[in-house]
Structure 1
Amino acid sequence: MLSSIGLATARRVRVIGMRSVFSSLVRTSTRTVAVCNRGFAAAASRSATKTATATTTKKTTATKKPAAKKTTAAAPKKKAATTTKKKATAKKAAPKKKVGRKKKAPEEVPEELKIYRKAKELRVKGLIKEQPTLLPATPWLVYLVKNADYQAGSTIIDASRALKTKFESLSDAEKQVFVDEAHANKVRNDATIISWATTYPVETIEAANRARSALRRLGRKSRSSIPDPRRPKGTRTAFSYYVTQRYQSGDFNGIPIRNVMPACASEWKTMSEAERKPFIDAYKADAARYKAEREALSPSP
């Protein structure tokens, strides 16, 4: 048998347990109700927003229907804009050119170097290297070639000076031997040059002679002009015919040529057209002759 104290304790435990269970059930039911109320409120709000959006979309569609025609009419413009944008993007997308080093400014060529290059070009045109070697054509050169026996220890300049002194000390009879040989060598040289020149066209020989003249104007050493018998003889001016006549008249015998030419020029200026006519006619006939010979030979350069 339990004591009275134990029975009282058991009754308290029962009462406390029943209260705790009842309170937990109440709390659970209130939470459930609150959750349901929240769910119903959320559902109601969703349905309200759906209806509101539906009505707004209907209104917007109803209002935007007339503007659809305008957008269809303006559609090509939008395409053009898109094409231009595509082009712009294509241009932007093009690969960038590689930037190389900046070109240096051309350096100024010295004047001496320009002359040297020009002379080198003229030597090629003038056929300087192609011309055959010629025989000595002066008495002094003939004597120098035959007596070119340089002693050891002496320079070429000293030896040539010594030979020049010996040559000048020769008598006229002794020099005549070298004069005759020089004349014979000149004849041979002319034949050699002419046979060599005829292997080239006339225009090439004329261009070579012009190049040699240009070399002399530049102050460079150049060989003499190339003789070419195929080339027609040049024309003479009317004044040259007059000077020839005045020389043949004998009025200027014993007068230096430097005085004759100015005198002839002053006379030519004072002459009338009738007095000049014979010399002008002679010049015209000579010019016609040159033109005919030139055309028969080859086209004018």
Structure 2
Amino acid sequence: MLARGVICRLAADVPKTSTHNLPQLARLFQRVAVAHNATPITYKSAPSSVYKLALVETRRLYATSGTTKKPATKTAAKKAPTKKAGTRGRKTTAKKAAPKKKKVKKVLTEEQLVKKKQAEERKKIAELREKALREPRPGPTTAWTVFITELGQESTVFSSVSKEASERYKNLSAAEREHYNHLANKNKAAAAARYQRWVLSHTPEKIRIANLARAQLKRKLKGTYKTRLNPPHTSKIQDDRQVKRPMTPWALFMTERLRSGDFKDISQKEAFGLISNEWKALSAAEKKKYENESAENKESYFREYRQTYNKDATAA
């Protein structure tokens, strides 16, 4: 009963805002009571003494607990830049890029220039040969080549056979010559079929580029093959799909005159001279015929060129 009364009095003296500290007051009262039990206090004065001590201790605790700490304001403190170890007291400067060394152009000697030019020419020829394509070999297509081929197959040394080949060929009978002619014609037909299949295996555009490359190769390799009129794989590929260039009025007139037969047994140079004089003697009305035909051929050329090669002709 005594303890309950003391607690109630303590609760009455404590401000209303500190009611949440009642459990703490009860524990404090117990400690104070235990402490005073060890000292000689009279019965009547014991509650008052205990009450006073508990009240003083309670007010002290309330005063300390009532002081609220201000929340620390969050300040965005700027962090000082961290210095790398070993750079204290030193000024850090950006490393300058080393200037690029200018390439010194090497001066070639005359011999080196010649070799360089030859290497470029070989490279150009190799590129042209790749564009020019390679047609299939026709094989033996004459009686003589068929005869030589048979002799080569019978003997291991072809050079020794070729020495006596002409004599043996001259001594052939009519039946034997007819036999070799028959084989040659058969081979010629087979070679023509192979050639046509090879041409059709490429597009008209590819054949056109091949013919342009062959014309350049023929000029570059002229004189390098003494035993042949044309270097190998430089003759024009025969393709009926190719679009023919339109003829000029002068070319139309010249073709017409040559086909007339008036210049038979006349050299080409003399014939051209005579035809040129005839062209100059024509009147404007007579030339108009060939000019109109040339204009029509030109329009037809541009139309067929686009249909065949899927692009427009740059020039006629």
Normalised to the residue count of structure 2, the TM-score between the two structures is: 0.54
TM-fit CA distance, 1:104: 4.4
2:311 maps to a residue whose letter is P
Name the counterpart of 1:205. Answer: 207
TM-fit CA distance, 1:119: 1.5
Residue 265 of structure 2 aligns to a residue whose secondary structure is: coil
Matched, 1:117 2:123: yes
CA change 1:102–1:248 in 2 (3 A) is closer
Name the counterpart of 1:133. Answer: 137
TM-fit CA distance, 1:262: 2.3
Pick 1 or 2: higher relative contact order, CA cutoff 8 A, min separation 6.
1
In 2, distance between residues paired with 1:165 and 1:234? Answer: 49
CA shift digits 1:7-50 (9 cap, x unpaired): xxxxxxxxxxxxxxxxxxxxxxxxxxxxxxxxxxxxxxxxxxxx
Q: Which moved more, 1:169-178 or 1:110-119?
A: 169-178
Name the counterpart of 2:220. Answer: 218
Residue 135 of structure 1 aligns to a residue whose secondary structure is: coil
TM-fit CA distance, 1:176: 5.1
In 2, distance between residues paired with 1:114 and 1:169? Answer: 53
In 1, distance between residues paired with 2:250 and 2:178? Answer: 40
Counterpart contact for 1:115–1:218, Cα < 8 Å: no
Counterpart contact for 1:193–1:227, Cα < 8 Å: no
Q: Which runs of 5+ in 2 are unaligned?
A: 1-91, 225-230
Name the counterpart of 1:246. Answer: 257
In 2, distance between residues paired with 1:173 and 1:274? Answer: 62
CA change 1:116–1:172 in 2 (3 A) is farther
CA shift digits 1:204-243 (9 cap, x unpaired): 1111111111111112623222222322334333233222
Name the counterpart of 1:108. Answer: 113
Counterpart contact for 1:142–1:178, Cα < 8 Å: yes
CA change 1:144–1:289 in 2 (3 A) is farther
Structure with the higher fraction of residues in helix conformation: 1
1:242 maps to a residue whose letter is F
1:141 maps to a residue whose letter is T
1:246 maps to a residue whose letter is R
Counterpart contact for 2:151–2:161, Cα < 8 Å: no
Name the counterpart of 1:160. Answer: 162
CA change 1:134–1:175 in 2 (3 A) is same
Counterpart contact for 2:302–2:312, Cα < 8 Å: no
Name the counterpart of 1:292. Answer: 303
Counterpart contact for 1:125–1:211, Cα < 8 Å: yes
CA shift digits 1:52-77 (9 cap, x unpaired): xxxxxxxxxxxxxxxxxxxxxxxxxx
Matched, 1:257 2:268: yes
Normalised to the residue count of structure 1, the TM-score between the two structures is: 0.56
TM-fit CA distance, 1:180: 4.7
Counterpart contact for 1:212–1:222, Cα < 8 Å: no
In 2, distance between residues paired with 1:96 and 1:285? Answer: 69
Name the counterpart of 1:50. Answer: none
Overall identity of the aligned pairs, in %: 27
In 2, distance between residues paired with 1:268 and 1:100? Answer: 65
In 1, distance between residues paired with 2:269 and 2:168? Answer: 35
Name the counterpart of 2:13. Answer: none
